[in-house]
């Protein structure tokens, strides 16, 4: 098989980094997009090459449609194609709905939902021309339940939107050999939460423990494989039973 090329937003740390290193171990060429941490990006880039993969690190604000498109073009110019787009960037904040600001409200959609649309538009033409592609985006484990969320309202609505956009893209791109799927993590130890907070979260998980980055990476690996060639529009929960 010819070398595959992946573009991963939020690829410098956490789950995105785990995916990047896993693909590198399979000799993929991996472009990671990051917004702020040059040090994290440099460390991940080195780790990719140490794993035997080719690496490209791009600082980009994917909430800017022009910047997102130019980033995709840079990856295609470097390696000639993009086989897999993995939308891993997705910040959130916790605030009561009636204390939310208009900027905070808009930020959740600008950073969690809109970039998936921008980047899908950017990568789809090349994928369609080659009759091959994989697009994976991240939602959250209980988003498909559409529950009331007074403390993370905008973020939650954006993650519901990710599922709708995923299914729409899946239907539109299926005739061209492109699959589009979502992964919905629950509580994952990605390095962003303190141990005491994770311990409290574990009590809410039916499985009795917090997931690891490798659990999410395994789901991504499957959706990128030829074994998943007929799976599109799916939403895979990686949650140990929480949120379903």
Residues with catalytic function: 156
Question: What's the DSSP call for residue 183?
Answer: E
C-alpha separations of 74 from 58, 81, 92 in Å: 9, 10, 28
Cα–Cα distance measured from residue 204 to residue 226, given in angstroms and rounded to the nearest whole number = 35
Q: Which residues does 51 contact at the CB level (< 8 Å), separation at least 6?
A: 21, 24, 25
**CA gap 76, 112 in Å, rounded:** 23
Torsion on CA atoms 210, 43, 135, 70, rounded to nearest 10: 140
Residue 160 to residues 135, 182, 215, Cα–Cα distance (Å): 17, 11, 22
| Nearest Cα residue to 214 out of 12, 10, 17, 47 | 17
**What distance in Å separates the CA atoms of residue 71 and residue 133, rounded to the nearest whole number?**
17
SS3 2: coil
Q: What does residue 185 show for φ and ψ, rounded to 5 degrees?
A: -75, 155
User: What sign results for the dihedral spanned by CA atoms 208, 214, 217, 218?
Assistant: negative
């Amino acid at each position: 098989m010819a070398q595959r090329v992946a573009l991963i937003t939020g690829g410098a740390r956490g789950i995105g980094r785990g995916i990047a290193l896993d693909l590198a171990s399979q000799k993929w060429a991996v472009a990671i997009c990051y917004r702020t941490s040059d040090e994290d990006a440099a460390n991940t880039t080195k780790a990719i090459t140490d794993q035997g993969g080719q690496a490209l690190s791009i600082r980009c604000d994917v909430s800017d449609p022009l910047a997102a498109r130019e980033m995709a073009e840079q990856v295609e110019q470097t390696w000639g194609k993009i086989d897999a787009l993995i939308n891993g960037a997705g910040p959130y904040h916790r605030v009561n709905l009636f204390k939310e600001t208009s900027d905070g409200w808009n930020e959740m959609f600008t950073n969690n939902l809109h970039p998936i649309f921008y980047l899908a538009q950017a990568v789809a033409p090349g994928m369609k021309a080659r009759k091959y592609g994989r697009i994976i985006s991240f939602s959250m484990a209980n988003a498909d339940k559409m529950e009331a969320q007074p403390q993370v309202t905008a973020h939650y609505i954006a993650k519901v939107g990710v599922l709708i956009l995923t299914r729409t893209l899946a239907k539109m791109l299926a005739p061209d050999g492109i699959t589009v799927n979502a992964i919905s993590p629950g509580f994952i130890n990605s390095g962003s939460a303190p141990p005491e907070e994770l311990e409290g979260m574990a009590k809410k998980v039916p499985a009795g423990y917090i997931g690891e980055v490798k659990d999410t990476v395994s789901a991504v690996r499957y959706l990128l494989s030829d074994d998943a060639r007929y799976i599109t529009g799916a939403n895979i929960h990686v949650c140990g039973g929480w949120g379903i």
